[in-house]
Structure 1
């Protein structure tokens, strides 16, 4: 029955998109770099033919904070926080493979473990020996996985509407149709070829909750970066790669000081997931935001960064 339902979802989505331009050509990297790069952008070649786009901003001798974005997003989602943190902190942000301006070879399969390895290699080469890692959504999953793999390198862990909490009850989650398509092989094949704009517009409005934040420029950024060569294939490859199975006991082993932040109106990952993470990670602090959706750092940057700074200032000096 689940298989039949999955096929019906794919068919329905295909019919919905029938009136739209179903295909879109890739946009060359030089064009995207000219529009979405800039003086703060740098690139680093890593093993596996990866060319990572990153930014290393703020106070060079300040405590390091590493920012990891969510699925289909990019380091640009952190800019409201970067401008507010820069006077006091060294702020490193990056585009994961398949996202933003980062290049990956043909056939690259995204996975949590490979994203952890990218973060580890990049920060080591940048000589950020110890840092606070902050992750939103999928990037939150990468961040807590990093805390499990490399606790000796972390001063703190911040999970912003993070993915990965195992539970049967999905609460008030009403994820965009793109996530339903990603759960089915036929849906993933469809997503590799279609124009992402119709799905992106609807999905972003659902995730942000406040539709006024979803400006044409924001939609253009998500859509155009998704059209970077190879990105659609990588974005749809995650379900094909190895899946890590976790339960509550896994989070209980995290010893890094942790802050959990979550929008109470998040329809992508219900606030119950944030509460679960905070209850499972020893000593974790939970802050929720009424009326806020999946990206508090963009929706309520002043309030959320103030909470982040309070957490950072509470950490013991290294």
Structure 2
């Protein structure tokens, strides 16, 4: 290769890398703008706190000092941002907190600590104590639903009501996920770019539109978290646990709503029957045309169902 050709090639590579870097900066800039807009629409701001040597990130709105609190826990491989569209439809009279569970979002990611459900209950408890949340309405999706269930069982005086959206923990009725796992596939973990679209198709029946720059950043973030997600998932599906989850459900005293998308391929919606059978003061609602994430797929309808449930509880008190 001639000297001039080498110079041309080097220049081309430098230009290409500069362009890619600029595109990446633009892409992430657009992502940040989109998230800022979504947070403003939901009336929340990002916050964080440190406790027990761990960093917890969360979203919080401004509410009256005497407002009742709603604490939101997302599912495996997700983040606090999964609740943004749902939070838009909650009245501002509530104090709303959406937490990034450890190992997720902007919270600490540590592969040296355990992440079984009872461990995660302990981490959430550390957060609620540090944040001064003594009593609240607790809502959780998927893994967050299992954590919420055990939290309500262990700390009954802290949980005014419980809403479980497609909760994990009970698998009496099999799902497509279990079939895929038996084949050595895990559609919940993104390892390469095309896996992100496959995950959206698998997890949700009524998928929201995600513009390219946003989807690209979400894909990159998911791939970057493969290591921690592998670790957490292995903890969740191991054969031996320190608890009997269905026995835990018997200890829940909080009024409970079990809300499930009928087209859920991750966890079979018929497992709602087990939750309502085990939890004394509970009722269920199955939503047609919705998959594993009702708060994303049908945020307004899901919020309305939740608010009706809470209004019924208030009426029962009166």
TM range (shorter): 0.7 to 0.9
Select 1:221's aligned residue among 208, 218, 223. 218
* Structure 1 segment 82-101 matched on structure 2, within 5 A: 82-101=87-106
Structure-to-structure mapping, 1:11-160, within 5 angstroms? 35=32, 40-47=45-52, 49-61=53-65, 62-160=67-165
| TM-score, scaled relative to structure 2 | 0.76
Distance between the aligned counterparts of 1:246 and 1:106, measured in 2? Answer: 24
Conserved 8 A contact 2:73-2:99: yes
SS in 2 for 1:40: strand
Aligned counterparts of 1:98 and 1:263: Cα–Cα separation in 2: 26
Structure 2 residue runs of 5 or longer lacking an equivalent are 1-23
Moved more, 55-64 or 69-78: 55-64
Q: Which residue in 2 is equivalent to 1:201? A: 197
Specify the SS of the correspondent of 2:139.
strand
Q: Is 1:174 matched with 2:176? A: yes
2:20 equivalent in structure 1: none
Which residue number in structure 1 is paired with residue 310 of structure 2?
A: 312
* Counterparts of 1:110 and 1:219, CA distance in 2: 28
Give the conservation status (yes or no) of the 8 Å contact 1:50–1:105: no
In the aligned structure 2, how far is the partner of 1:164 from the partner of 1:215? 33
Q: Distance in 2 between matches of 1:244 and 1:166?
A: 17
Distance 1:285 1:301, change over 3 A: same
Instruction: State which of 152, 165, 171 in structure 1 corresponds to 2:170.
Output: 165
User: How many residues were matched structurally?
Assistant: 277
2:274 matched to which residue of 1? 276
Kept after mapping to 1: 8 A contact 2:150/2:249: no
The structure having more radius of gyration, on CA atoms, is 2
Gaps of 5+ in 1: 1-26
- Cα distance in structure 2, aligned partners of 1:104 and 1:251: 29
Contact kept, 8 Å, 1:115 with 1:142, in 2: the verdict is yes
Q: Which residue of structure 1 aligns with residue 249 of structure 2?
A: 251
The equivalent position to 1:296 in structure 2, one of 284, 288, 294, is 294
1:215 Cα offset (Å)? 5.4
Whole-Å Cα distance in 1 between the matches of residues 293 and 275 of structure 2?
A: 17
Contact 2:100/2:106, CA 8 A, preserved across alignment: yes
| Cα distance change, pair 75–252 in 1 and its aligned pair in 2 (3 A) | same
The answer for the alignment partner of 2:9 in structure 1 is: none
8 Å contact from structure 2 (residues 208, 296) kept in 1: no
Q: Deviations over 1:133-174 (max 9, x none)?
A: 10000000000010111111110111000001142x31xx21
The 1:164–1:279 alpha-carbon spacing in structure 2 relative to 1, beyond 3 Å, is same
Report if the CA contact (8 A) 2:47-2:58 is conserved.
yes
Shift of 1:295: 0.7
Task: State the partner residue of 1:210.
Answer: 206
Structure-2 change in CA distance of 1:208 and 1:106 (3 Å): closer
Moved more, 69-78 or 223-232: 223-232
Name the CA distance, whole Å, in 2 between partners of 1:266 and 1:314: 27
